[in-house]
């Protein structure tokens, strides 16, 4: 039985991707255009889904998980169904429910069933992307496991829902997240391939911020990225900001600079700044406070504030760096 089921899924995977590696390679090349870097993660994720597997993406927020999945499903022409894992995600929410008003008038029928994300993804052959799935209740995860193992689901008063061949479950979790999460049973882990995604390097992050903001000041992009990355390196910060914080810092700073009539530096991005106006660094500080103070999570035992931490990071970046880099 188990072998038969696995064979099915193997055939399934091949059907989605074509008969040889060529179409997977073509998809990979097209998907890569949506992304800055991430070649290895893309290869591994594509290989897993093309092989008919379900996948756990493990990494902090803002590390391209949704971007990868959006790009793959868009290129494959299949739906991507998002669902957020939290305590309210009951099995009924995941599977679907009968419209109560219509049930009163018509009694239960498959016709008045409102599909939830799981049934939706199974019927359309989409990827069900369950974010923070370790926050979902255990009985919800069990329902999901059944659908994953059998590729079909019996729904009372509806019938058996058969998944289209391209249906996949992609789960994500943040390894730093341990509040309100379920300790996942080994039977869950045993059914998923796992791909760890971590933060990208500074060069890639500058590429992402440049692309997402369209800003023409490489200096501002580099400063926003460097300041954001510093929030991940501090002892007193439990979780720093992702590249999303850098994108917002850069966009807010550009607006503030325009409003205040402060010219953005046109220096190259990577070399240490030679000279930056106080007006410019003040704009960056305001942008950092606005964009990052709600995105960093401090060690609770310390008596400091996000604002104080960010001000220190800003001082280190603008005041110490040029001195250190300029021996004379």
* Segment interacting with ligand ADP (CB under 6 A) among 42-50, 63-71, 289-297, 311-319: 63-71
- Applying CB under 6 A, does 206 fall inside the site for ligand ADP? no
Write down the least CB distance from residue 36 to ligand ADP, Å: 4
Task: State which of positions 67-96 bind ligand ADP (CB under 6 A).
Answer: 67
Write down the least CB distance from residue 61 to ligand ADP, Å: 4
- Identify the residue whose tokens are 């590696």: 21
* Segment interacting with ligand ADP (CB under 6 A) among 30-38, 118-126, 227-235, 282-290: 30-38
Alpha carbons 212 and 78: distance in angstroms, whole number:
25
* Segment interacting with ligand ADP (CB under 6 A) among 19-27, 60-68, 218-226, 293-301: 60-68
* Segment interacting with ligand ADP (CB under 6 A) among 57-65, 83-91, 255-263, 280-288: 57-65
212, interface contact from ligand ADP, Mg ion, none, CB < 5-8 Å by kind: ligand ADP
* Segment interacting with ligand ADP (CB under 6 A) among 59-67, 105-113, 286-294, 315-323: 59-67
Which one of residues 36, 81, 83, 253 is an interface residue with ligand ADP (CB under 6 A)? 36
Rounded to 5 degrees, φ, ψ at 301 are: -80, -10
Which one of residues 38, 53, 98, 229 is an interface residue with ligand ADP (CB under 6 A)? 38
Distances in Å between the alpha carbon of 260 and those of 11, 23, 253, 254? 61, 52, 10, 10
Whether 69 and 93 have beta carbons less than 8 Å apart is answered as no
Cβ partners under 8 Å of residue 304, min gap 6 = 236, 298
Nearest CB to Mg ion, comparing residues 52 and 62: 62
Write down the least CB distance from residue 142 to Mg ion, Å: 24
* Segment interacting with ligand ADP (CB under 6 A) among 32-40, 94-102, 162-170, 264-272: 32-40
Q: Is the dihedral of CA 202, 207, 212, 217 positive or negative?
A: positive
Nearest CB to ligand ADP, comparing residues 21 and 294: 294
Nearest CB to ligand ADP, comparing residues 82 and 108: 82
Nearest CB to Mg ion, comparing residues 66 and 293: 66
Alpha carbons 235 and 93: distance in angstroms, whole number:
40
| CA angle at 294 for the pair 219 and 132, rounded to the nearest 5° | 105
Distances in Å between the alpha carbon of 43 and those of 26, 27, 130, 248? 12, 10, 21, 29
**Chain Cα centroid distance, residue 197:** 9
Alpha helices in the chain (DSSP H): 2-17, 21-32, 39-50, 65-76, 91-95, 100-106, 117-124, 138-150, 186-189, 202-213, 218-230, 243-260, 278-292, 306-315, 321-325
Q: Helices then strands (H, E): number in the chain?
A: 15, 11
Residues that bind Mg ion (CB under 5 A): 66
Which residue from 42, 5, 3 is spatially nearest to 24, judged by alpha carbons? Answer: 42
Write down the least CB distance from residue 247 to Mg ion, Å: 14
36, interface contact from ligand ADP, Mg ion, none, CB < 5-8 Å by kind: ligand ADP
| CA angle at 74 for the pair 68 and 80, rounded to the nearest 5° | 75
- Applying CB under 6 A, does 230 fall inside the site for ligand ADP? no
Other Cβ atoms less than 10 A from the Cβ of 242: the count is: 21
Which residue from 235, 185, 247 is spatially nearest to 210, judged by alpha carbons? Answer: 247
Mask for 255-284, x = binds ligand ADP (CB under 6 A): ------------------------------
- Applying CB under 6 A, does 28 fall inside the site for ligand ADP? no
- Chain residues that interact with ligand ADP, rule: CB under 6 A: 35-38, 61-67, 208, 212, 243-244
């Amino acid at each position: 039985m188990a072998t038969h089921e696995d064979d099915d899924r193997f055939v399934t995977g091949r059907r989605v991707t074509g008969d040889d590696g060529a179409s997977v390679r073509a998809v990979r090349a097209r998907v890569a255009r949506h992304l800055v870097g991430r070649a290895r993660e893309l290869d591994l994720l594509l290989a897993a889904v093309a092989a008919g597997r379900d996948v756990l993406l493990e990494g902090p927020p803002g590390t391209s998980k949704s971007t990868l999945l959006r790009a793959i499903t868009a290129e494959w022409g299949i739906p991507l169904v998002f669902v957020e894992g939290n305590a309210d995600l009951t099995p009924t929410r995941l599977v679907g429910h009968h419209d109560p008003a219509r049930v009163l008038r018509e009694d239960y029928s498959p016709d008045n069933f409102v599909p939830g994300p799981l049934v939706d993804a199974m019927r359309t052959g989409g990827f069900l992307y369950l974010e923070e799935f370790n926050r979902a209740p255990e009985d919800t995860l069990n329902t999901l496991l059944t659908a994953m193992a059998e590729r079909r689901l019996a729904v009372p008063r509806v019938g058996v829902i058969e998944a289209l061949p391209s249906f996949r479950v992609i789960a994500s979790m943040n390894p730093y997240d341990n509040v309100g999460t379920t300790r996942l049973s080994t039977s869950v882990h045993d059914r998923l391939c796992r791909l760890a995604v971590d933060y990208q390097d500074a060069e890639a992050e500058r590429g992402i911020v440049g692309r997402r903001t369209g800003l023409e000041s490489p200096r501002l992009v580099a400063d926003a990225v460097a300041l954001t990355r510093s929030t991940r390196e501090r002892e007193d910060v439990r979780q720093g900001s992702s590249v999303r914080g850098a994108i917002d810092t850069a966009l807010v700073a550009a607006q503030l600079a325009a409003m205040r009539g402060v010219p953005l530096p046109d220096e190259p991005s990577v070399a240490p700044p030679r000279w930056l106006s106080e007006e410019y660094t003040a704009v960056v500080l305001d942008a950092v406070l606005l964009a990052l103070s709600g995105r960093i999570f401090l060690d609770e035992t310390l008596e400091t504030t996000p604002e104080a931490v960010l001000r220190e990071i800003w001082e280190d970046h603008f005041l110490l760096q040029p001195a250190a880099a300029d021996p004379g």
